[in-house]
Amino acid sequence: MQTNVTLNKKSGKGKTDRVISEMATFFTVKPGQAEELRQACERFAAVALQADPKVVQKSGLRDSRHVLFDNDQRLLWATTFETEWDPYIDDAVLVMGFRAFVDWMQYTVEGSSIIKSMQASVSAGGLSTASTGEIEQFLSANTSDLKRILQSTQAPAVGYWNMLADQTTPQIRKAQRVEAAFQQVLDHPEAAQAFEHPALKPLLEQAAD
């Protein structure tokens, strides 16, 4: 018996821990397509690794992983994100490119309809003679079918916890930069005298942790 899940503006069907939401989607691998799917998932991860970190950070993407299981008959795509579910998918497509999603989803039973949807969208948009860049831009702005497929395959976590869920990626990155700058100050020859001022005592206490 499947329990009805109420969609949440923040996390879709997933669970949320403070600023972080999770999404776990489960797909059936097309027979004989496991190796092609494995390679496509590797390409998907490579796109994320090569993307501009600032652009990825703006999208709210926290992490992403693909896992083949049940003797390569099933696929898990799991991700965590900081923004709301709907704009997160839009931004993820802008970062990764629509074709990066199609690349691996085409080898799954549930995701195979994305090809027909993509062709129909391009045809309806009058882009049959458009350039590859124009088509990609158009598809990235029309993600309704992708969202439908993801929600149809999504299963919410029974329990979810994230160690750094009280901090967004921008906050974490800023803290790292401040820490690096503070260490430079500590290494300065005149730092000891400067830190004798009472107002700077909290900084020294934090540095001692």
Band of residue 39 on the pLDDT scale cut at 50, 70, 90: very high
List the one residue out of 105, 106, 113, 138 whose CA is nearest residue 124. Answer: 138
* 176 part of a folded domain: yes
Kindly give, in sequence order, each residue whose CB lies less than 8 Å from that of residue 17, ignoring residues fewer than 6 positions away. 160, 161, 162, 165
Q: Which residue has the tokens 């709210």?
A: 60
Q: What is the mean pLDDT of residues 40-62?
A: 91
Distance CA(109)–CA(23), nearest Å, equals 19
Distance CA(152)–CA(104), nearest Å, equals 17
> Partners of 74 in the beta sheet?
28, 69
The DSSP 8-state label assigned to residue 3 in this structure reads P
Distance CA(106)–CA(120), nearest Å, equals 15
Distance CA(18)–CA(53), nearest Å, equals 23
* 10 part of a folded domain: no
Contact predicate 137/154, CB 8 Å? no
Chain segment 92-131, per-residue pLDDT in tens: 887 888 888 989 999 999 998 877 766 665 555 544 444 5
Identify the three-state secondary structure at position 63. Answer: strand
- Domain CATH code at residue 65: 3.30.70.100
Domain that holds residue 187: 169-208
Instruction: Check whether residue 111 and residue 43 sit in a common domain.
Output: yes
Instruction: Check whether residue 147 and residue 180 sit in a common domain.
Output: no
Domain count, the chain: 2
Instruction: Check whether residue 149 and residue 191 sit in a common domain.
Output: no
> Partners of 21 in the beta sheet?
16, 81
Instruction: Check whether residue 119 and residue 24 sit in a common domain.
Output: yes
Chain segment 158-198, per-residue pLDDT in tens: 999 999 889 988 888 888 888 888 788 778 887 777 777 77
pLDDT of residue 127: 42
Instruction: Check whether residue 134 and residue 196 sit in a common domain.
Output: no
